[in-house]
Structure 1
């Protein structure tokens, strides 16, 4: 009996030890949440709201997993586009544009945003409202706020989400959205909602979940507040000359369209590039120098305020074009060189930093600082300086590190 009790005691101790990390994590989260609650009260959020939204909250592990594998960052351009600008989505977008044309035209008159772009955002974000997301928004943003990677940003989102509940726009039980806390037909982040959503029909509630007037007006108001140009395109596919200076292909480089034309940039079909007076643009290469090239204007930058991914920006713009009857993309289809994983991007960033190219934090996201570091490495080693994170780049970096060790 004594031996059995001893064995039981050992097993019990082992179970306790095994459970300790999870328990410690939950205790840490609870203590952190107490701080959130205190700060929210200081900001004027009602105690009843905090009791409804924060009681019993726990971190959502699936949210962290998804944060490390965002398709905008780890999928190739063509894979991403083929999933999002499909023939079915284009056709449905055209039908819905016609169905809601009167409402969309009214929104355009008030906010200056062309209907095809609102429909394109709608299609990209939720499949025209077919799936709004089923993650609890408060739980998701709290999880990301507690995580180290983007804690400051999502802590702010958490307070905005609490404000949405506190003002009566949404009940906690129905407050769902994406894993990152985006919600409604157009997937507004909480801060986007509190700053730009509108009550278009005057019923006292900004209903971006069920009222299309509020949905379209809120989306248009947001874009208008960002500076949307109602008489401009987002950009266009172009052909680049063989001697194009690849370092010029980045959003930070803006030139008048007639300058790009003088450098040999032409429309995708080979025709001369239109050069309206006063228009400026940048060249972007979402699949590197072997893939398609796009000349993008100011409205493209406003699309990026919705989602900072170049792939996302091109997909929204191209979907809007297709809904309006414009042709498919024409170049670069054979350039699908394979995707890099989150871990491989971290490896690329680590190696760039070791080589002195200052990629910034090792976070697995090939953002602006990483792309700039890639260009520096490529230029220094005789590669086309397109800033593209690819499997080939990783091999080049590893070879350079091996040469140093040798």
Structure 2
């Protein structure tokens, strides 16, 4: 009897193990894709788009690894800026600014955005269109949604990407981007494309992958929509007095002060000269990304707009630094 019980238990265990061997990430992913297809259909995406977009889609572990990989060492601004804005990139930015000046000027005037900031974002985001990513956007987004860490975000982006294909802006095969689904030369996420992509050359298309005028117009449209004001720049690097109250720094609305108020608190230009007295004083915020040991800035609302684009102080300062370098020419 004991032998028979052992045999039955072994048989049951073998059946369970056999069943579990069939439940792989790949089979689970296939089932998840069926759910995405059903959701897309319910949202009005055409069958032809759904079939084309999910044709041969597979789980991409590299996208999940990239999403989970956080750098262990945090660079200071003094270390980061020379890497993000090296001399060769400044030289290239100036050359491209002059090469595309006519269309940049036209688009800048139409949207009320200084062209140097359009070029700077282009340079920092994709090295002027050279590094846009080679992942299938649908594949990357589906993988990250399935992974589950930020499922709601990436599921929403997947549906937006399908809408872009369905509207005819780009084919499923040509929709390439980063591991996170950022697309084109301005690295828009699909929802950003739907909100801000613009036709810059009047051909009726919104092509942020290969048409520079559309890249420029889409970038300018984003900035203007989020509150950019071309009467002002982004801010300035400054010198703060020793022992300044650290609670003064931050971008919260109630921490903004006019330049002359900051001047009374002992803040000066970087070279020690007084802050400028403008005909119309401007509100600014004290930003010290590396606390009192690093660089300090007074930033204007245009800097806050750059922070909408990418919520990184370092990113916004890199874009601003490159824009200022173009203006020096």
Q: Which residue of 1 aligns with 2:257?
A: 255
Q: Any residues of structure 2 matched to 1:301-380 within 5 Å, and which?
A: 301-325=304-328
CA contact (8 A) 1:122 1:186 kept: yes
Q: Over residues 235-281 of structure 1, what are the superposed CA-to-partner deviations in whole Å (9 max), with x where a residue is unaligned?
A: 11111100210121111121122111111111111111124334111
Q: Aligned equivalents of 1:77 and 1:34: distance in 2? A: 45
Q: Which residue of 1 aligns with 2:4?
A: none
Q: Over residues 43-96 of structure 1, what are the superposed CA-to-partner deviations in whole Å (9 max), with x where a residue is unaligned?
A: 111011111112332332111222233569944333322211110000111111
How many Å apart are 1:300 and its aligned residue?
0.7
Q: Which residue of 2 aligns with 1:267?
A: 269
Q: Aligned equivalents of 2:30 and 2:109: distance in 1? A: 48
CA contact (8 A) 1:73 1:309 kept: no
From 280, 283, 287, the counterpart of 2:283: 280
Compared CA separation, residues 218 and 18, structure 1 to 2 (3 A) = farther
Q: Aligned equivalents of 2:174 and 2:201: distance in 1? A: 21
How big is the alpha-carbon RMSD for the aligned residues of Structure 1 and Structure 2?
2.4
Q: Which residue of 1 aligns with 2:126?
A: 126
CA contact (8 A) 1:71 1:80 kept: no
Q: Which residue of 2 aligns with 1:299?
A: 302
Compared CA separation, residues 234 and 247, structure 1 to 2 (3 A) = same
Matched position secondary structure for 1:180: coil
CA contact (8 A) 2:107 2:200 kept: no
Relative to structure 2, which stretch is displaced further, 101-110 or 24-33? 24-33
Q: Aligned equivalents of 2:301 and 2:72: distance in 1? A: 21
How many Å apart are 1:120 and its aligned residue?
0.2
Structure 1 length normalisation: TM-score?
0.72
Q: Over residues 201-254 of structure 1, what are the superposed CA-to-partner deviations in whole Å (9 max), with x where a residue is unaligned?
A: 232321111111111111111111111111111111111100210121111121
Q: Aligned equivalents of 2:72 and 2:105: distance in 1? A: 31
Q: Aligned equivalents of 1:147 and 1:274: distance in 2? A: 52
CA contact (8 A) 2:117 2:319 kept: yes
CA contact (8 A) 1:72 1:311 kept: no
Relative to structure 2, which stretch is displaced further, 20-29 or 191-200? 20-29
Q: Aligned equivalents of 1:17 and 1:136: distance in 2? A: 34
Compared CA separation, residues 177 and 21, structure 1 to 2 (3 A) = farther
Q: Aligned equivalents of 1:128 and 1:145: distance in 2? A: 29
Q: Any residues of structure 2 matched to 1:44-55 within 5 Å, and which?
A: 44-55=44-55
CA contact (8 A) 2:77 2:295 kept: no
How many Å apart are 1:295 and its aligned residue?
0.9
CA contact (8 A) 2:238 2:296 kept: yes
Structure 2 length normalisation: TM-score?
0.89
Q: Aligned equivalents of 2:22 and 2:172: distance in 1? A: 26
Q: Does 1:143 align with 2:143?
A: yes
Q: Any residues of structure 2 matched to 1:207-246 within 5 Å, and which?
A: 207-246=207-246
Matched position secondary structure for 1:171: coil
Question: Structure 1 stretches (4+) deviating beyond 4 angstroms?
Answer: 16-23, 70-74
Q: Aligned equivalents of 2:44 and 2:289: distance in 1? A: 44
Q: Aligned equivalents of 2:56 and 2:200: distance in 1? A: 35
Q: Give aligned pairs, total.
A: 314
Compared CA separation, residues 178 and 238, structure 1 to 2 (3 A) = same
Q: Aligned equivalents of 1:22 and 1:223: distance in 2? A: 50
RCO (CA 8 Å, sep 6+): is it higher in 1 or 2? Answer: 2
CA contact (8 A) 1:72 1:309 kept: no
Q: Aligned equivalents of 2:220 and 2:73: distance in 1? A: 27
